[in-house]
């Protein structure tokens, strides 16, 4: 417990990250796909002499610059701020292992921001050929930021045996490329590229919906239908890419998804099951809405319908990211670090020396044992739970008495292969006294209710 813990009431620190990341992913992936959309649309307009397209594309590039350059950048910084507070141990591990990767990503990101601005501000001011080259440079830079970020995100689920073999030895940098091109790298990259293409079409439909279909019917029809076609590759190829992705996911993590899907018939809808179903349903609705309103009636396609598609895409993106995050359970970095920031290799040592031995974050008070229990709770439980809100510990503990709580903590501390909690929850680290202190603290969250008659008798005594 090297860092103070960030306690966010009701929603928990994880949802602070998730809330920012969902919107950031919608914008960041659009920043990649939208760059290719703009340059390909401009090239098509020039080759086929659709000069009326260019004015619309100029407006779309302004919208693109503001959304990606301002909101995308700010939300990206917000994610860094949130993960540094929510899980500093994991953030530190990623920085130390991928410091050169982050440096490369920032180089491409600076090129991306610069060329996006140049692309918009040079409409009609430089030759068409040079303007296209600027667009292609932006598209390439944004794609390479995706290539780099994808490696680091995929690493968190599947760091790979080569990297794990040297993890904790100080030689991790010698396995940089093996960690970067990890087992789920390529299918994850394909999935993200497909989503980039679809989001390019989704956001373009917002711009196209604002074209006056009465005054400019041919322009609106051609652009709306061309934008709608960007969604097609995703919905045709994504199921295949998803199967490929699952094939590379560790069997222990894949079992979480398989369990939920296999028990749908009995009504057991796990969180992963719900997320996967939402992805499938919203994707189907996006296809239906786009076909019914954009493709069949492009002239009447309006902003409200376009924003409906954006909302559905946001729900699908959020559910997909939630599924990916949930598949990592009980780790934040697969087979290396638990979701509460405890490294797997250090658990046995912490069980002997103590989880709080070198920590300065235990509250000072009269009851030392309860203070230690609270520190254990903050360090090892609050990464995924809250006291009263999301995954409430009060609700999960229910009416368990002190003995039942002790039995639960023993299951988590022993972490035997047949434990029902092993697939979802990290191993509880600490000495027997620290675990007992945690049990005492948890018991205070739901104190037993004393019947009124007994309370009166006690008072009279």
pLDDT at 449: 60
**Token duo for residue 222:** 């051609």
Distances (CA, A) of 322 to 93, 273, 274, 315, 353: 22, 11, 10, 10, 36
pLDDT at 263: 53
* pLDDT tens by residue, 29-41: 999 999 999 999 9
The answer to whether residue 313 is domain-embedded is yes
Q: Say if residue 44 is in the same domain as residue 192.
A: yes
pLDDT at 223: 98
The answer to whether residue 78 is domain-embedded is yes
Is 183 within 8 Å of 72 (Cβ atoms)?
Answer: no
Is 58 within 8 Å of 135 (Cβ atoms)?
Answer: no
Name which of 59, 54, 65, 315 is nearest 209 in CA terms: 59
Q: Say if residue 358 is in the same domain as residue 324.
A: no
SS3 171: coil
pTM of the model: 0.92
Q: Say if residue 54 is in the same domain as residue 146.
A: yes
Last-in-domain residue among 284, 309, 331: 331
Q: Say if residue 247 is in the same domain as residue 375.
A: no
Based on DSSP, count helices (H) and strands (E) in the chain, helices before strands: 20, 2
pLDDT at 128: 97
pLDDT at 1: 66
- State the angle between helix axes of 432-445 and 402-414 in degrees (0 to 180), rounded to the nearest 10: 140
Is 249 within 8 Å of 324 (Cβ atoms)?
Answer: no
The answer to whether residue 395 is domain-embedded is yes
**Token duo for residue 328:** 């990592």
Please, how many CA atoms are within 13 Å of residue 458, restricted to the half-sphere of its CB? 6
- State the angle between helix axes of 73-86 and 12-47 in degrees (0 to 180), rounded to the nearest 10: 160
Q: Say if residue 25 is in the same domain as residue 63.
A: yes
pLDDT at 325: 87
The answer to whether residue 202 is domain-embedded is yes
Which residue carries 């031995």 as its tokens?
A: 357
Q: Say if residue 90 is in the same domain as residue 123.
A: yes
The answer to whether residue 168 is domain-embedded is yes
Specify the number of domains making up the chain. 2
pLDDT at 261: 60
Pairing of β 331-333 and β 337-338: antiparallel
The answer to whether residue 450 is domain-embedded is no
Q: Say if residue 276 is in the same domain as residue 382.
A: no
* Cis, peptide link before residue 87, omega less than 30° from 0: no
Q: Could you tell me the residue range of the domain that residue 441 belongs to?
A: 344-445
- The DSSP secondary structure of 281-309, one letter per residue, reads HHHHHHHHHIIIIIIS-GGG--HHHHHHH
- The DSSP secondary structure of 117-139, one letter per residue, reads HHHHHTTTTS-HHHHHHHHHHHH
* pLDDT tens by residue, 365-412: 778 999 999 999 999 999 999 999 999 999 999 989 999 999 999 999
Q: Say if residue 327 is in the same domain as residue 367.
A: no
What is the spatial distance between Cα 387 and Cα 5, in angstroms, rounded to a whole number?
Answer: 14
Q: Say if residue 317 is in the same domain as residue 423.
A: no
Question: What is the dihedral sign for C-alpha 112, 114, 120, 122?
Answer: negative
The answer to whether residue 460 is domain-embedded is no
The answer to whether residue 220 is domain-embedded is yes
CATH assignment at residue 405? 1.10.760
Q: Say if residue 93 is in the same domain as residue 162.
A: yes
Q: Say if residue 227 is in the same domain as residue 349.
A: no
Q: What is the pLDDT along the chain (461 residues), one digit of tens a residue?
A: 678 889 999 999 999 999 999 999 999 999 999 999 999 999 999 999 999 999 999 999 999 999 999 999 999 999 999 999 999 999 999 999 999 999 999 999 999 999 999 999 999 999 999 999 999 999 999 999 999 999 999 999 999 999 999 998 989 989 999 999 999 999 999 999 999 999 999 999 999 999 999 999 999 999 999 999 999 988 889 999 999 998 999 888 877 776 656 555 554 446 777 788 889 899 999 999 999 999 999 999 999 999 999 999 999 999 998 888 888 989 999 999 999 999 999 999 999 999 999 888 888 777 899 999 999 999 999 999 999 999 999 999 998 999 999 999 999 999 999 998 888 899 999 999 999 999 999 999 988 765 545 545 544 55
For the chain, the first-to-last Cα distance in angstroms comes to 45
The backbone torsions φ and ψ at residue 206, rounded to the nearest 5 degrees and listed phi first, read -65, -45
Q: Say if residue 235 is in the same domain as residue 351.
A: no
């Amino acid at each position: 417990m090297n860092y103070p813990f960030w306690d966010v009431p009701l929603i928990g620190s994880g949802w602070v990250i998730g809330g920012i990341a969902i919107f950031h992913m919608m914008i960041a992936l659009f920043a990649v796909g939208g760059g290719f959309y703009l340059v390909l649309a401009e090239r098509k307009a020039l080759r086929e002499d659709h000069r009326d397209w260019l004015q619309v594309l100029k407006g779309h590039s302004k919208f693109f610059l503001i959304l990606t350059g301002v909101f995308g950048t700010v939300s990206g910084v917000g994610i860094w701020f949130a993960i540094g507070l929510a899980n500093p141990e994991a953030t530190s591990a990623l920085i130390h292992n991928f410091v050169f990767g982050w440096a490369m990503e920032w180089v491409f990101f600076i090129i991306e921001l610069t060329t996006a601005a140049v692309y918009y501000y040079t409409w009609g001011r430089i030759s068409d050929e040079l303007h296209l080259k600027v667009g292609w440079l932006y598209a390439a830079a944004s794609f390479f930021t995706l290539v780099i970020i994808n490696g680091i995100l995929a690493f968190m689920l599947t760091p790979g045996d080569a990297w794990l073999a040297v993890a904790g030895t100080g030689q991790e940098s010698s396995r940089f490329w093996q960690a970067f091109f990890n087992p789920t790298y390529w299918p994850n990259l394909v999935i993200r590229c497909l989503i980039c293409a679809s989001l390019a079409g989704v956001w373009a439909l917002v711009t196209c919906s604002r074209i006056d279909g009465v005054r400019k019917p041919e322009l609106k029809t051609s652009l709306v239908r061309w934008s709608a076609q960007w969604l097609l590759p995703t919905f045709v190829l994504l199921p295949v890419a998803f199967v490929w992705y699952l094939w590379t996911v560790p069997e222990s993590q894949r079992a979480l998804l398989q369990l939920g899907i296999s028990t749908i018939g009995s009504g057991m809808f796990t969180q992963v099951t719900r997320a996967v179903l939402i992805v499938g349903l919203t994707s189907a609705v996006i296809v239906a809405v786009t076909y019914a309103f954009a493709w069949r009636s492009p002239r009447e396609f309006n902003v409200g319908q376009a924003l409906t598609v954006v909302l559905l895409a946001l729900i699908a993106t959020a559910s997909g990211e939630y599924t990916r995050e949930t598949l990592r359970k009980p780790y934040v970095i697969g087979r290396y670090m638990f979701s509460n920031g405890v490294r797997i290799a250090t658990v046995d040592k912490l069980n002997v020396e103590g989880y709080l031995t070198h920590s300065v974050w235990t509250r000072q008070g009269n009851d030392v044992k309860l203070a230690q229990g609270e520190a254990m709770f903050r360090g090892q439980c609050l990464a995924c739970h809250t006291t009263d809100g999301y995954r409430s510990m009060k609700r999960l503990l229910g009416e368990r008495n002190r003995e039942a709580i002790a039995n639960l903590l023993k299951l988590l501390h022993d972490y035997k292969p047949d434990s029902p909690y092993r697939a979802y929850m990290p191993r509880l680290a600490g000495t027997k006294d620290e675990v007992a202190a945690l049990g005492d603290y948890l018991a205070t969250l739901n104190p037993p209710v004393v019947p009124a008659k007994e309370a009166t008798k006690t008072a009279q005594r």
